[in-house]
Amino acid sequence: MSGCVLLSRGATAAAAAARASRVLREFTARRRPLHTSLQSCSFAKELFLGNIEQKGVFPFPEVSQHELSEINQFVGPLEKFFTEEVDSRKIDQEGKIPVDTLEKLKSLGLFGIQVPEEYGGLGLSNTMYARLGEIISLDASITVTLAAHQAIGLKWE
């Protein structure tokens, strides 16, 4: 008798699973996509999938002479500051960036690298930000601190 009950329960569970599967298939078939515009594909995602989206990387952006001369004004003083005044070992040991170092970063305008000039920033392009990033990355703590100020709430088109 208990064998019949188990068989009956198994049949009921199988029927419920079949019903749930059928309902899910019907729902999926009727479902409307949430996005009404065309999806834009991420370059990194497409690269991961083995597709190179050439329009995203070619032609490689050229740096204008004006932009080049502007960035060169920052490179020298920034390299000097990071090699002579930033003590990465001290920052790592103490677990904080000294106030005088933060003040110097502020005076160099590095908390507003990509902030438009009309709002008190430097208004540099992504290319110029990347060049300064090469120097800033000499200290990881400062890199993270400054990157947060470039990323949080500053992206617009």
Residue 51 counted as domain residue: no
Residue 26 counted as domain residue: no
Which of the pair, 20 or 89, is modelled with greater confidence? 89
What pLDDT was estimated at residue 78?
A: 93
Residue 95 counted as domain residue: yes
* pTM for this prediction: 0.59
Q: Which residues of 77-104 are buried (b: 16+ CB within 10 A; e: fewer)?
A: ebeebbeeebeeeebeeeeebeeebeee
pLDDT band with cut points at 50, 70 and 90 for residue 8: low
Residue 102 counted as domain residue: yes
Q: Is the pLDDT score of 3 beyond 80?
A: no
Could you report the per-residue pLDDT of 11-59, keeping only the tens digit for each? 687 888 888 888 778 777 776 655 555 556 777 888 888 888 887 777 7
When divided into structural domains, the chain yields a total of 1
Could you report the per-residue pLDDT of 128-155, keeping only the tens digit for each? 888 999 999 999 999 999 988 877 766 6
Residue 8 counted as domain residue: no
Torsion of CA 73, 74, 80, 86, to 10 degrees: 170
Could you report the per-residue pLDDT of 91-122, keeping only the tens digit for each? 999 999 999 999 999 999 999 888 888 888 88
Which residue range is the domain that position 124 belongs to?
65-152
Between CA 78 and CA 107 the distance in angstroms is: 11
Q: Is the pLDDT score of 77 beyond 70?
A: yes
Residue 138 counted as domain residue: yes
What pLDDT was estimated at residue 4?
A: 47
Residue 88 counted as domain residue: yes
Q: Is the pLDDT score of 7 beyond 80?
A: no
Between CA 108 and CA 75 the distance in angstroms is: 11
Q: What is the CATH number of the domain that holds 122?
A: 1.10.540.10
Residue 34 counted as domain residue: no
The first and second tokens of residue 99, run together, are 């106030």
